[in-house]
Structure 1
């Protein structure tokens, strides 16, 4: 009987040990059930599989989905790995689709362990997302933005380092549309906020008239040339194809004016042609010329060319010829009137402002002489000189513009009408500007075939380096190069024009 009793007791004890070691379910089944409930959004079902879930377990899950605007979640579990006696883990890949950002992938680890004789999920905030570790919070913030993008006429981005930023950046507010974007931010105690995702609203894209290849060529032509600018215009339309501006001290190629020097002889020549002076007429080009009863004007270097055609006097930029002819044949009013026909004193509707310049009337014969050669009180902008070159090429003066006609009208008002110019004078000026490049002051400088132009050197004070100018055109492209205090037009401006034209 005693033996039987002992055996019974031992048997009961062994059963109790077996019963106490019996574990409900398996790690793989618990993990599969958790992932399935997570996919379906069954947070209560997920909580039942978690060992001692926090009181805010359900609230955390629902808040994250609501605050981040989660539309769906995909979960792809990897193979289950045993990590010890009664513990395991399942690596998984997840993808949350957020309404504002689309697919947002993440990787996580689901940890499991035997608790109270059952396999349970050992949950922590990083199970929901690894970035929630250490008290991290994910927040979706609305950000106020106003977006506008200005692009080239081809619809492409403006080239980097284009030297046009000073004009484009202030123009953007004209096209901005007030809106808002989104930013997904990680906030971790003791650490700076970290932006994870940002979505800006689509920018209001506005095309300018800038040509990407022309703008790029103009900008690169000015690399290394301080205090300089190139303005390029399409003569047939007035569109500004290139606007590279490296002028310093807040000067603007569009809005500021400078003494033009001999490029203004293009206007003086037009006035003399209008008065009846023939391009082939023989005129004197002495080293110096004294206005009867007034001052003496020298040629550059006091070069004496003797008798030359009026075309060659223009090509060689004879100061003495232009002073003699202007003071003999023209009145100040006639010079001012001709300048007005070619843009001076006329409003310019670009969309970014602008001015052409002024030619003041005078009763002073010395001042008339100086004005006729672009000195005295005559001032002009590089934009205006590019428009002048464009007018010679096309036979029509057009207000330059950087935007579409509709946008220019909206910003600046009714456009300035085009001005048809005298065909006889235009034809003569084309030949004279061709002579400048062929055998005049811009000859043998490396300019491509087909270019016509006019150089200018503007004196700006005793001991101060003069401004260098060169305006010209080739086919349906007109330009003005201006180098402030850069030296002569031939030495400072023409080389930049060569680089620009060869860079197209």
Structure 2
């Protein structure tokens, strides 16, 4: 009986479900298939049937809500590891959030999401900045975007530093403590104080002035929460930015060359366009009288890097005149199309000038009247002209705040031809093109500056050579013709006769309308502007520049 009972019990045990690691597997024919697959064994087919499929397709509202809530809740509670894991780049997120937790000295952080628009979720941030015995409230708006994680399609937050604070770029940090540089009080040329509240475009300029002159202007540092720029941001010319001032430092004083009248007018003019920038100079000295941008973050006027379109034909014409390849009144047709190194170049609206002078082609901004000189030029001719006569592309301007000095790289073939009309690899900003107009007006390159070199004894850049008086006269002739009868005539009406201008339209990939450019001078004033995605320069940037020339007249 004992032996029979043991056999029966063994049979009964075999019939019970087997428990492996907490997972119940039904035994069929003596083999637990479910448990075998979950335990990691079995065939490739068995594994494939249990592998989770990668999610695809548009995100649902529920997925966006869940992913954003998970991230914001963890961040608010100071659970950096969990918040970072809720993003598509946990390592970068952990580094950024960890720095904030350690160095920003924020307390009572409150994150409140707003209504999502698709996958984008705006949210408000409220906190207290507390350092030693000082504290002040902090409040700002930010946003995040939910994306599908590449590995499994799970909805997570698409990581970028700006999620934490909109002014942050990758590699930047939020730091509370004694400011690296004392504050400065910036003055205009008449002694009035310049503030971002009065002149919104000057926010980045004032930051740059503080960074450059804070330690030498006689001020004392205060305590503040600020964005400290990393290596990449510094290379891009971005300055540290103060977000909250816990205790005021003692500011030093820096006088600039800005004209309060011109600056106010510049702010008003760019405010009428969605994406406009303008710079005004005194041609005989290089003093910067105004700089304004519709967008108040990045200073396109000083630091932009955009193809200048046909305003570059001023530099190209200088080269052609100096090489004696053409004169203003020489017969020079502008064909509808021109082939160069496998490319076919077209004029705007497929226009052409069959019988006309070079001056007429300049005034009409007819592209192929310039590109058809390419076979007579070397690859480096335009680069040398820009550097040696106009001081462009040498990376040596020192205007008092960060700036980009333009770029005219050596190119060959069709790209060289495109450079002649301000496309290809040529890059400029309104500061550069205002300087070009100023050089034509004065005959000599004067490096633009916002702060006099007498303040810090810095050396201003100089051009290698000066254009001849004959070349200057020829340039003024074609620019005056353009201002009186050409594509700039409508904008420059009533400003003559001591004036000159050049319009430009620069094509940009995947952009419906070109960037509209305008470069001009009137008397001792020179100015240039750009309206990004605005269309033809004569209709967009032209009125802005002309209004400023009238203001200073």
TM-score bracket, normalised by the shorter chain, equals: 0.5 to 0.7
State the secondary structure of the residue aligned to 2:520: strand
**What is the CA–CA distance in structure 1 between the aligned matches of 2:200 and 2:258, rounded to whole Å?**
11
Contact 1:408–1:415 at 8 Å: present in 2 too? no
Mark the structure with the bigger radius of gyration: 1
**What is the CA–CA distance in structure 1 between the aligned matches of 2:421 and 2:182, rounded to whole Å?**
49
Aligned to 2:73: none
The alignment status of 1:236 with 2:284, answered yes or no, reads yes
The alignment status of 1:328 with 2:375, answered yes or no, reads yes
How much has 1:167 moved relative to structure 2?
Answer: 0.6
Closer, same or farther in 2 for the Cα pair 1:248/1:206, shift >3 Å?
Answer: closer
State the secondary structure of the residue aligned to 1:241: strand
Among candidates 245, 249, 253, match of residue 301 of structure 2: 253
Contact 2:441–2:521 at 8 Å: present in 1 too? yes
Closer, same or farther in 2 for the Cα pair 1:446/1:359, shift >3 Å?
Answer: closer
How much has 1:171 moved relative to structure 2?
Answer: 1.3
How much has 1:376 moved relative to structure 2?
Answer: 1.1
Aligned to 1:221: 269
**What is the CA–CA distance in structure 1 between the aligned matches of 2:404 and 2:308, rounded to whole Å?**
14
Aligned to 1:267: 315
Closer, same or farther in 2 for the Cα pair 1:333/1:446, shift >3 Å?
Answer: closer
Contact 1:218–1:230 at 8 Å: present in 2 too? yes
Aligned to 1:169: 207
The alignment status of 1:435 with 2:473, answered yes or no, reads no
Alignment of 1:55-454 (within 5 A): 146-158=182-194, 160-173=198-211, 174-175=213-214, 177-179=218-220, 203-247=251-295, 250=298, 252-276=300-324, 277-291=326-340, 294-325=342-373, 327-341=374-388, 342-346=390-394, 347-363=396-412, 365-407=413-455, 409=457, 413-417=458-462, 419-445=465-491, 447-450=493-496, 451-454=499-502
State the secondary structure of the residue aligned to 1:379: coil
Alignment of 1:31-42 (within 5 A): none
**What is the CA–CA distance in structure 1 between the aligned matches of 2:487 and 2:501, rounded to whole Å?**
10
Which structure has greater strand proportion?
A: 1
How much has 1:286 moved relative to structure 2?
Answer: 2.1
1:311-361: CA deviation from partner (whole Å, max 9, x where unpaired): 111111111111112x13212211211111212222111011222222222
State the TM-score, normalized to the length of structure 2.
0.57
**What is the CA–CA distance in structure 1 between the aligned matches of 2:442 and 2:491, rounded to whole Å?**
25
**What is the CA–CA distance in structure 2 between the aligned matches of 1:360 and 1:494, rounded to whole Å?**
27
How much has 1:404 moved relative to structure 2?
Answer: 1.2
Runs of 4+ in 1 over 4 A off after TM superposition: 143-147, 178-181, 199-203
Closer, same or farther in 2 for the Cα pair 1:249/1:370, shift >3 Å?
Answer: farther
How much has 1:247 moved relative to structure 2?
Answer: 4.1
**What is the CA–CA distance in structure 2 between the aligned matches of 1:178 and 1:207, rounded to whole Å?**
14
State the secondary structure of the residue aligned to 1:164: helix
For structure 1, the 5+ residue unaligned runs are: 1-142, 182-198
How much has 1:261 moved relative to structure 2?
Answer: 0.6
For structure 2, the 5+ residue unaligned runs are: 1-177, 223-246
**What is the CA–CA distance in structure 1 between the aligned matches of 2:288 and 2:335, rounded to whole Å?**
40
**What is the CA–CA distance in structure 2 between the aligned matches of 1:351 and 1:491, rounded to whole Å?**
32
Contact 1:247–1:484 at 8 Å: present in 2 too? no
State the secondary structure of the residue aligned to 1:253: helix
Closer, same or farther in 2 for the Cα pair 1:236/1:501, shift >3 Å?
Answer: closer
State the TM-score, normalized to the length of structure 1.
0.63
How much has 1:242 moved relative to structure 2?
Answer: 0.7
Closer, same or farther in 2 for the Cα pair 1:211/1:256, shift >3 Å?
Answer: same
State the secondary structure of the residue aligned to 1:383: helix
**What is the CA–CA distance in structure 1 between the aligned matches of 2:299 and 2:250, rounded to whole Å?**
34
1:69-125: CA deviation from partner (whole Å, max 9, x where unpaired): xxxxxxxxxxxxxxxxxxxxxxxxxxxxxxxxxxxxxxxxxxxxxxxxxxxxxxxxx
Closer, same or farther in 2 for the Cα pair 1:485/1:178, shift >3 Å?
Answer: same
1:439-472: CA deviation from partner (whole Å, max 9, x where unpaired): 1111133543233111010001144321111011
State the secondary structure of the residue aligned to 2:301: coil
